[in-house]
Amino acid sequence: MADTAKRSSLLTALLDPIRPTADRAERAFQFTGSSRSWLIPGGLGIALLVVSAVGWVTDAKQFYFAYLVGWVFCLSLALGGLFFLFINHLPKAYWSVAVRRIPEALVWAFPLLAVLFIPLLFGMHDLYHWTHEDLYDPASPNYDEILAGKRVYLNTPFFLLRLAFYFFVWTVIAYKLYTLSVRQDVEADPQVPALQRRVSAWGLPLTGVTTAFASFDLLMSLDPHWFSTIFGVYFFSGSLLAALCLIALTAIVLQRGGMLRYVVTAEHYQDLGKLMFGFVVFWAYIAFSQYMLIWYGNIPEETVWYRYRFEHGWYYHSAALLFLHFVLPFLILLPRAPKRSIPVMSVMAVWLMIMHWFDLHWIAMPVLHHDHAGFHWLDFTCWLGLLLLFVGALFWRLSRHPLVPQRDPRLARSLRFENY
């Protein structure tokens, strides 16, 4: 009852800016933590990447694969945040306004991720078999007729040109959505929601196509003989699921720091939990659909990808994905109560983010170690180093502007939102 009264007081102040309490309402939306709090995860991330550099010297190929998995993991979080904005702007959703600044801060990571891609430029030969020039020489004993037929698409200059185009598209869309949102904090322009919907209307299909092709280029081409037309959807489903987890976890961390109190409530966590549950199911559906289509097609070029993941210990990783990425989260998130419980949501958000990394590891690592399954210490230092640096950038961006789009015309409805 006390929380409800405080939320009502905050809402009253918001709707009546003449009242003295309006200042207190606006302060409830500010980042009140230390302005340098982002240095802690950022510093730890840099330290772990320095440790990973030792592995770069001693085992370069392992480093490149581990770094690629960690980098793609962070990229998927930013892309998932972008899709979250699209699916809330287009239907004029109001429940998500209270948490929307978090994914808006997430999508500012694209320039940082572009810079962090630089180490992978030195590992192209180790990562991507199709970069080996002797594969395309008919006089060479390593000549590969299949890859020779794909050379128009799979070549280094075109690969890098495509990546540059993807990042240009993602950065422009993220910049437009974010700047419109923070502009509204100052100008209270009632046309901003319509402009955000307009950007989302053309941004969604463009981001969908570029995300699918990015997943083909970065992950699927690790095994260039294999192909799957559903792989882009598979990557999208995992990306949005991981982003939802990070959004929920960030809101919880901010509230533990005294921010967003009576703004983000159990009602918002329940809706985030519904989306997490939905994308756990959707990820499993797409994963099964891909497997089933390849299984009954029984084409050698396609089935070999799964053969590597069902042999030499990788079978246990495949089984773990089924039970730990789908069955367990499905059973936990199915009831209403866990989605309204902050401790449960915290654990599930962390768990599903770990499972998303595990999924990416399962996609990439059998290419390097098809004869044995396992983990290398570089897998963890690269992943956690990049993730902590990414989180540091997220909190730095959150500290720059109000934590809530405070003059959004739908904010009042978001604050009093309730599930029925």
- What pLDDT is attached to residue 17? 45
Q: Does residue 96 register a pLDDT over 90?
A: yes
- What pLDDT is attached to residue 281? 97
List Cβ neighbours of 398 (8 Å cut-off, separation of 6 or more): 31, 101, 102, 105, 250, 254
Picking from 86, 114, 135, 108, the residue whose alpha carbon sits closest to that of residue 38 is 108
CB of 419 closer than 8 Å to CB of 274:
no
- What pLDDT is attached to residue 317? 94
pLDDT tens digits, residue range 374-420?
A: 999 999 999 999 999 999 999 999 998 899 998 888 999 999 999 87
Q: Does residue 26 register a pLDDT over 70?
A: no
Portion of the chain with pLDDT greater than 90, in percent: 73
Average pLDDT over residues 219-224: 94
- Regarding predicted confidence, which is higher, 111 or 191? 111
Average pLDDT over residues 309-321: 92
Q: How far apart are the first and last CA of the chain?
A: 18
Portion of the chain with pLDDT greater than 70, in percent: 93
- What pLDDT is attached to residue 7? 57
The region of weakest confidence among 111-125, 291-305, 354-368 is: 291-305
State the DSSP H helix or E strand holding residue 273, giving kind and residue range, or none if neither. helix 266-297
Average pLDDT, the chain: 91
Average pLDDT over residues 24-44: 76
Instruction: Name the packing angle between helices 60-89 and 192-218 (round to 10°).
Output: 150
d(CA 59, CA 369): 13
CB of 345 closer than 8 Å to CB of 270:
no
Q: Does residue 199 register a pLDDT over 80?
A: yes
**pTM given for the model:** 0.93
Residue 371, burial from CB neighbour count under 10 angstroms (0-12, 13-18, 19+) = exposed
What per-residue string of b and e applies to 219-236 under the rule 16 or more CB within 10 Å gives b? bbbbbbbbbbeebbbbbb
Q: Does residue 30 register a pLDDT over 90?
A: no
Average pLDDT over residues 35-50: 89
The region of weakest confidence among 18-32, 150-164, 262-276, 374-388 is: 18-32
What DSSP designation does 128 have? -
Quote the tokens at residue 6.
């405080």
* Helix locations, 219-265, DSSP H: 231-256
- What pLDDT is attached to residue 25? 53
d(CA 131, CA 154): 8
Average pLDDT over residues 37-66: 93
Q: How far is CA 224 from CA 118, 267, 299, 311, in A?
A: 22, 45, 15, 20
CB of 255 closer than 8 Å to CB of 264:
yes
The region of weakest confidence among 76-80, 111-115, 292-296 is: 292-296
Picking from 211, 202, 251, the residue whose alpha carbon sits closest to that of residue 79 is 211
d(CA 98, CA 265): 9
Instruction: Round the CA-based radius of gyration of the chain to a whole number and report it.
Output: 23
- What pLDDT is attached to residue 298? 86
Instruction: Name the packing angle between helices 266-297 and 300-308 (round to 10°).
Output: 130
d(CA 131, CA 142): 13
- What pLDDT is attached to residue 138? 87
State the DSSP H helix or E strand holding residue 41, giving kind and residue range, or none if neither. helix 39-58
What DSSP designation does 98 have? G
Picking from 53, 116, 75, 64, the residue whose alpha carbon sits closest to that of residue 365 is 64
CB of 361 closer than 8 Å to CB of 379:
yes
Q: How far is CA 180 from CA 37, 58, 192, in A?
A: 26, 47, 6
Picking from 58, 123, 55, 31, the residue whose alpha carbon sits closest to that of residue 385 is 55
